[in-house]
Amino acid sequence: MATNEDQKQTESGRHAEVGHKSLLQSDALFQYILETSVFPREHEAMKELREVTAKHPWNIMTTSADEGQFLSMLLKLINAKNTMEIGVYTGYSLLATALALPEDGKILAMDINKENYELGLPVIKKAGVDHKIDFREGPALPVLDELIKDEKNHGSYDFIFVDADKDNYLNYHKRLIDLVKVGGVIGYDNTLWNGSVVAPPDAPLRKYVRYYRDFVLELNKALAVDPRIEICMLPVGDGITICRRIK
Ligand code: SAM
Ligand code: CA
């Protein structure tokens, strides 16, 4: 049963709707993480890009600072060099990746919208990491189909971050599983979809949350039984499922 305390939290502190960048129980706890371990160590270019993005009307789409820090740590832990990103927006996760990779690291970055990428590009350039980025404007699927045609791209990616159209994640997975190397990692973002994956059927969800939820649920089910990968679903940001290719 909900206590008065729970009620108070729901009204004041709990994340009540889409837009919060964490699934934690309270904003205070999320702020604590940001202020204690994320912001004091955030690269100045990441901070600048976060501030540029905050002024953009679609800023809800950006990767959260704590997730950026997580991606950076993961990339370094696996010594990633050849990487891919599907869904760039203004480039916060892209910049986190570019900064984490070695000087000769590479990111094939795809987005249907170049304008938003160009908003962040001056900051990426100022950070001196734009030479690692190969940006392709347009839908990602045809690019993946092209890559697949060439045998030498198979098993060539150390890390792939997927943060785009959720209704295509399974289509991406079919292709990415061949492109990532055995032992490499694919990260599927937003796999907890604002917590809606456990919402009752009559829950008041925003239209787009409701629409994509079924695709996210389907993806999560498919990843859970895919014998080619090991998985770990983390409640970072809006949920990220880390998939390590094992065969
Ligand atoms: N990773 C980004 C960041 O850190 O700010 C956020 C990406 S945002 C959630 C999703 C992006 O996917 C949007 O910029 C959108 O234009 C892009 N997108 C949507 N459909 C796409 C497609 N078919 N191919 C490539 N990008 C797509
Ligand atoms: Ca995301």
Task: Give the model's pLDDT for residue 6.
Answer: 39
Contact, 75 vs 159, CB < 8 A? yes
Return d(Cα 26, Cα 32) in angstroms, integer.
10
113, amino acid identity: N
| CATH number assigned to the domain with residue range 23-245, chosen from the 4 options 3.90.550.10, 3.20.20.140, 3.40.50.2020, 3.40.50.150 | 3.40.50.150
Task: Give the model's pLDDT for residue 22.
Answer: 64
Average the pLDDT over each of 6-20, 72-86, 121-135, 201-215 and give the range with the smallest value.
Answer: 6-20
What count of residues does the chain have? Answer: 247
Ligand nearest to the CA of 84: 1
7 CA distance to ligand 1 centroid (A)?
36
User: Which atom of ligand 1 is the closest one to the Cα of 93?
Assistant: 4
| Axis crossing angle, helix 140-149 with helix 169-179, rounded to the nearest 10 | 30
Return d(Cα 99, Cα 92) in angstroms, integer.
11
Return d(Cα 12, Cα 43) in angstroms, integer.
31
- Ligand 1 pocket test, pick from 89, 97, 118 with the greatest ligand atom count within 8 Å of Cβ, gives 89
Query: Cβ < 6 Å from ligand 1: which residues?
Result: 61-63, 86-90, 92-93, 110-113, 116, 139-140, 163-165, 168
Q: Which residue has the tokens 């900064």?
A: 99
DSSP per-residue codes, 112-175:
S-HHHHHHHHHHHHHTT-GGGEEEEES-HHHHHHHHHHSGGGTT-EEEEEE-S-GGGHHHHHHH
Question: What's the complex ipTM?
Answer: 0.99
Ligand nearest to the CA of 62: 1
4 has pLDDT over 80: no
Ligand nearest to the CA of 240: 2
3 has pLDDT over 50: no
Residue from 239, 185, 189, 230 nearest 77 by CA: 185
- The whole-chain average pLDDT of the chain stands at 91
User: Which atom of ligand 1 is the closest one to the Cα of 62?
Assistant: 5
